[in-house]
A = this chain, B = another copy of it.
């Protein structure tokens, strides 16, 4: 199947791949080609050849996917920072080619028999950073960053119906997102924060005490960081290091809750720094200055 929607014949431009570092070459191809200078025509001819080569490569990758008898493969959108599975749909060749080209997670709607890009009505696009195929090449991950809630219900992800809670009749927990450990912990801390105004009898939980006593919290963060360092300095067992890191992470996350900072924001920062070789570059520069 030709991926005809990718062609822009008037400008002889093919809009993939769109990795940020190289995409400008393609996006600005049209302007170059409409000017008259011979060097620009030459540049555009080079671009054209490169584009055709890339298109051929996309076709080759798409040929390697094991499409089912309806021409579909499962496509799962995952948050690149949190790992949350945002939604799952199906993709055909055109949907994957469009995702490669536009960097917006695109699926094939089986009910409407047409392509649809998540966010085309809600504006909550999923900006795809990478695409992975599985070992059988019949399942695809769109690894990306959502602009907003993914689910049409307004929920962050589509997976908020926990089966075991349903079986235990915990209907109040029906809207519980499928959270992995780090975010489950974050959610527990946020819950404790939300309960601070509620008077409690009995011993307060440790999280509640930390949330209510900034001095205690900060002394614990410094203490746990120190203990983590001691596992290296004192050549302690690796299990001690893991345990101290757990302490550092937990106490630091209580502080983040007080500052209204989500772990997702922290990971977003780390991704940007590392994708730009940022931390390494900055630190190296600073320390060598």
Q: Which residues of A contact B (CB under 8 A)?
A: 16-17, 19, 54, 57-58, 61, 74, 76, 78-85, 87-88, 96, 100, 130-137, 139, 141, 143, 151-153, 155, 158-164, 166-169, 178, 180-182, 184-185, 188, 203-207, 209, 214, 217-218, 221-222, 224-226, 228-229, 231-233, 238, 241-243, 245-250, 252, 255-256, 258-261, 265-271, 273-274, 279-284, 287-288
Contact of A266 among B96, B178, B242 (CB under 8 A): B242
Contact of A221 among B80, B134, B229 (CB under 8 A): B229
- Chain A binding surface, main DSSP class: helix
Known A163-B61, A255-B232, A258-B232: A134·B88 in contact at CB below 8 Å: yes
Contact of A78 among B85, B160, B164, B224 (CB under 8 A): B85
Provide the bound-state CA to CA distance between A259 and B182, in Å: 21
Q: Are A159 and B134 in contact (CB under 8 A)?
A: yes
Residue with the highest number of chain B CB atoms closer than 10 Å, among A54, A83, A161, A279: A83
Provide the bound-state CA to CA distance between A176 and B266, in Å: 24
Known A250-B279, A261-B238: A270·B185 in contact at CB below 8 Å: yes
Provide the bound-state CA to CA distance between A246 and B151, in Å: 29
Q: For A132, what are the chain B residues with a Cβ–Cβ distance below 8 Å? A: 159-163, 178
Q: Are A246 and B233 in contact (CB under 8 A)?
A: no
Q: Are A229 and B238 in contact (CB under 8 A)?
A: no
Q: Closest Cβ of chain B: how far from A101's Cβ, in Å?
A: 11
**Can you list 27 A-B contacts (CB < 8 A)?**
A81-B180, A130-B163, A130-B164, A132-B161, A132-B163, A132-B178, A134-B159, A134-B161, A135-B151, A143-B178, A143-B180, A181-B267, A181-B268, A181-B271, A184-B274, A188-B274, A203-B288, A206-B279, A206-B281, A209-B284, A221-B228, A224-B225, A238-B259, A242-B265, A246-B266, A246-B273, A246-B279
